[in-house]
């Protein structure tokens, strides 16, 4: 399976321009033979553009995810739409089967689309960031895991601050995930946290983990980029710096069970 992490430049509140960057990245990834493309956290609005959340919130059937669905089908790739600001009330009205965590409010929501553009999984960020952030004031946390089957892999979904809560990743691993994506808007100066926590989640669960961060600056934050793919040993397979980039690498999800058999920490757990 070939992964592509679309580390695009995200401008605060510039939804149309950000959508076009995402569309260009998906097309470029498909040209490089990608099977699945991942986009960053709140790639259309910009994570730190808190004052624009309400007016740019959309249901799952809204223009951003509809465009991503069309792009997945057009290019024959799976796409993890990193996340958007979801209008839960509008989603409930449009799609009773979407199972939002609340009847109203906003959520930080990722969606996985298959090669036909069909929605396979929805994940609403569990752990909302409160440190120098308005996320906890503006959003509703998710309640369920996001898991999708794609090209022989069970794909798990988490978001940014979730990296600091290992119990979530253990739950995802126990649910069968062999590849987990972490779309993010991780800022400077916490470079070491970004790198160490990501590698630790891969090592302790013995699965592939792909972090896709944004690039660009907001009024009071600059995203540090460094989107990376880790294998089940925690080895870096591909990475980049803090500039816009497309990180592409091949993985073999069958290695997960091989690593767990070779070094049986997964099987030696005491619950």
Average pLDDT by stretches of 10, the chain with 271 residues: 97 94 98 98 95 96 97 98 96 82 90 98 94 88 95 97 97 97 95 97 98 91 95 97 97 95 88 76
Domain spans, the chain: 2-262
Structure confidence at residue 97 (pLDDT): 75
| Domain 2-262 fold | Nitrilase/N-carbamoyl-D-aminoacid amidohydrolase (3.60.110)
Residue that has been written with the tokens 């944004």 in this structure:
214
Q: Which residues have CB under 8 Å from 251's CB, separation 6+?
A: 1, 2, 3, 179, 208, 229, 231, 237
Q: Tell me if residue 23 falls in helix, strand or coil.
A: helix
pTM: 0.95
Structure confidence at residue 256 (pLDDT): 96
185 φ, ψ to 5°? -135, 65
Query: Which DSSP category does 139 fall into?
Result: B
Buried b (16+ CB within 10 A) or exposed e, 230-262: bbbeeeeebbbebebbbbbbebebebbeebbee
């Amino acid at each position: 399976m070939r992964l592509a992490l679309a580390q695009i430049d995200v401008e605060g509140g510039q939804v149309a321009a950000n959508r076009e960057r995402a569309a260009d990245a998906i097309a470029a990834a498909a040209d490089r033979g990608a099977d699945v493309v991942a986009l960053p956290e709140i790639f259309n609005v910009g994570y730190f553009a808190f004052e624009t959340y309400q007016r740019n919130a959309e249901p799952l059937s809204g223009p951003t995810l509809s465009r991503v669905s069309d792009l997945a089908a057009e290019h024959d790739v799976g796409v993890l739409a990193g996340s958007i600001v979801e209008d839960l009330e509008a989603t409930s009205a449009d799609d009773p089967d979407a199972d939002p965590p609340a009847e109203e409010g906003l959520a930080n929501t990722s969606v996985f689309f298959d090669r036909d553009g069909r929605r396979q999984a929805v994940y609403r960020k569990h752990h909302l960031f409160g440190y120098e952030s308005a996320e906890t004031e503006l959003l509703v946390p998710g309640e369920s895991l996001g898991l999708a089957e794609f090209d022989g892999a069970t794909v798990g979904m988490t978001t940014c601050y979730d990296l600091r809560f290992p119990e979530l990743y253990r739950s995802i691993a126990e649910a069968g995930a062999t590849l987990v994506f972490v779309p993010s808007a991780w800022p400077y100066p916490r470079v070491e946290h970004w790198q160490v926590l990501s590698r630790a989640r891969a090592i302790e669960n013995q699965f592939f983990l792909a972090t896709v961060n944004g690039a660009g600056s907001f009024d009071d934050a600059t995203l540090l980029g460094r989107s990376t793919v880790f294998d089940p040993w925690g080895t870096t397979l591909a990475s980049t710096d803090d500039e816009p980039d497309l990180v592409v690498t091949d993985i073999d999800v069958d290695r997960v069970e091989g690593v767990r058999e070779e070094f049986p920490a997964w099987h030696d757990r005491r619950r």
